[in-house]
């Protein structure tokens, strides 16, 4: 590496300095340098004050490595971690390598944060505890980090990324969007955040099963039922798991997609019909005239190619709507 630096310096001094910056921070990262060491190193490279703020604490040091007060100004900055920020107290455009130093500093601080922050440690423990592909000993270790009682029952609550959920959580990426997972004792009431899916009660060693059912429950939420629990869904949650990623797409789902595209207001009506024993009760619930509901039910039966007014048709409609939600619900 040193030989490469000298050869680069002969050809391009700027490039050689850039390589030195990268090598410098890589060395600090590999030596597991603390945030304070990273900031002091960056300040020495820049020849000016450098600062960071993270997890409610902040530090600013000058070029000599001495702590100094952060100066207010529109300084070049970079985010890291969840809400961390690093900055160089030199107005843009600054020196030639300022941007590179700031980029590598933010990267290094992010790695340090992920290694030492209680928030990051908890997040990784939640991720491992609900990962069915992780070895059982790793899941057990994660449960100990989270102080879970091995004989106690817990549920996974799954909600969109924007939900504010107290306690240990992890943000997981799924094909249908970013989902936040939270581990909750079975005795704890479901929060008011919606939509939310609640998994089956399981011991810490089987939390991955609660996570899987919580995801299915979340994907089956609707405006009519913004909170779904795997227990209340019963056999439907089992069928949803078996039908997930079904190929080819069932004709009933294709028909529902067409109806939803042409008549968006028809889906709430169909949901009400699937859950009611009579069209008269649907009319009362939706504050519509009985004849209007009768007429619409006939039209929708024709569009779906089966009679949604019969008992068997309502069962078929219930299953079709569940598959439709699995195929179309997104949480971006």
Task: Return d(Cα 100, Cα 102) in angstroms, integer.
Answer: 5
Q: Are residues 282 and 239 in the same domain?
A: no
Q: Tens of pLDDT along 27-41? A: 888 888 888 999 999
Q: Tens of pLDDT along 56-72? A: 788 999 988 899 988 88
Determine phi and psi for 207, rounding to 5 degrees.
-65, -20
Q: Are residues 148 and 103 in the same domain?
A: no
Instruction: Name the domain boundary from 243, 264, 285.
Output: 243
Percentage of the chain surpassing pLDDT 70? 95
Strand ranges for the chain from DSSP E: 50-54, 57-61, 77-80, 84-88, 154-160, 169-174, 177-185, 196-198, 227-229
Reply yes or no on whether the pLDDT at 183 is more than 70.
yes
Instruction: Name the domain boundary from 213, 243, 273.
Output: 243
Mean pLDDT of 145-171: 92
Q: Are residues 69 and 165 in the same domain?
A: no
**What's the CATH number where 267 sits?**
1.10.10
* pTM attached to this predicted model: 0.74
Percentage of the chain surpassing pLDDT 90? 55
Between the alpha carbon of residue 289 and those of residues 224, 301, 309, 314, the distances in Å are 20, 18, 16, 20
Mean pLDDT of 142-169: 92
Q: Are residues 99 and 179 in the same domain?
A: no
Reply yes or no on whether the pLDDT at 230 is more than 80.
yes
pLDDT band at 6 (very low <50, low <70, confident <90, very high): very low
Contact present, 25 and 80 (Cβ < 8 Å) = no
pLDDT band at 156 (very low <50, low <70, confident <90, very high): very high
Q: Are residues 63 and 87 in the same domain?
A: yes
Contact present, 170 and 126 (Cβ < 8 Å) = yes
Angle at 10 between CA 4 and CA 12, to 5 degrees: 90
Reply yes or no on whether the pLDDT at 246 is more than 90.
no
**Residue 66: partners with Cβ closer than 8 Å, 6 or more residues away:** none
Reply yes or no on whether the pLDDT at 9 is more than 50.
no
pLDDT at residue 256, as a whole number: 95
Q: Are residues 80 and 8 in the same domain?
A: yes
For the chain, what is the mean pLDDT? 88
pLDDT band at 14 (very low <50, low <70, confident <90, very high): low
Q: Are residues 282 and 184 in the same domain?
A: no
Q: Are residues 165 and 225 in the same domain?
A: yes
Angle at 125 between CA 121 and CA 129, to 5 degrees: 175
Which tokens sit at 204? 């810490």
pLDDT at residue 332, as a whole number: 81
How many independent structural domains does the chain possess? 3
Task: Return d(Cα 146, Cα 123) in angstroms, integer.
Answer: 10
pLDDT at residue 161, as a whole number: 92
Contact present, 15 and 40 (Cβ < 8 Å) = no
Q: Are residues 216 and 261 in the same domain?
A: no
DSSP 168: S
Strand ranges for 175-226 from DSSP E: 177-185, 196-198
Strands 84-88 and 57-61 turn out to be unpaired
Reply yes or no on whether the pLDDT at 12 is more than 80.
no
Task: Return d(Cα 255, Cα 324) in angstroms, integer.
Answer: 10
Contact present, 305 and 311 (Cβ < 8 Å) = no
Reply yes or no on whether the pLDDT at 17 is more than 80.
no
User: For residue 180, what is the enclosing H or E element?
Assistant: strand 177-185
pLDDT at residue 40, as a whole number: 92
Q: Does residue 191 sit in helix, strand or coil? A: coil
Domain span at 53: 2-116
Q: Are residues 129 and 184 in the same domain?
A: yes
């Amino acid at each position: 590496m040193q030989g490469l630096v000298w050869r680069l310096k002969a050809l391009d001094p700027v490039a050689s300095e850039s390589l030195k910056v990268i090598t410098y921070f890589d060395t600090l990262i590999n030596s597991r340098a603390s945030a304070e060491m990273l900031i002091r190193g960056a300040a020495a490279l820049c020849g000016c004050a450098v600062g960071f703020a993270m997890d409610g604490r902040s530090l600013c040091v000058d070029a000599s490595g001495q702590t100094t007060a952060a100066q207010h100004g529109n300084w070049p900055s970079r985010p890291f971690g969840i809400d961390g920020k690093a900055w160089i107290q030199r107005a843009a455009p600054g020196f030639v390598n300022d941007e590179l130093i700031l980029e590598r500093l933010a990267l290094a601080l992010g790695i340090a944060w992920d290694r030492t922050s209680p928030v990051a440690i908890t997040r990784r423990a939640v991720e491992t505890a609900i990962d069915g592909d992780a070895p059982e000993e790793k899941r057990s270790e994660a449960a100990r980090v989270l102080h879970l009682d091995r004989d106690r029952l817990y549920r996974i609550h799954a909600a969109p990324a924007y939900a504010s959920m107290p306690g240990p959580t992890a943000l997981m990426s799924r094909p249908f969007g970013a989902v936040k997972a939270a581990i909750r004792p079975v005795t704890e009431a479901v929060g008011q955040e919606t939509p939310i899916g609640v998994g089956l009660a399981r011991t810490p060693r089987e939390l991955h099963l609660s996570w899987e059912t919580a995801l299915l429950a979340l994907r089956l939420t609707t405006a009519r039922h913004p909170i779904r629990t795997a227990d209340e869904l019963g056999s439907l949650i089992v069928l949803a798991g078996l039908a997930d990623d079904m190929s080819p797409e069932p004709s009933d789902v294709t028909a529902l997609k067409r109806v939803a595209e042409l008549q968006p207001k028809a889906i709430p009506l169909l949901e009400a019909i699937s859950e009611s024993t009579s069209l008269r009760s649907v009319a009362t619930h939706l504050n519509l005239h009985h004849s209007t509901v009768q007429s619409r039910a006939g039209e929708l039966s024709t569009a779906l190619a089966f009679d949604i007014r019969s008992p068997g048709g309502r069962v078929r409609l219930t299953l079709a709507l569940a598959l439709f939600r699995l195929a179309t619900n997104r949480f971006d």
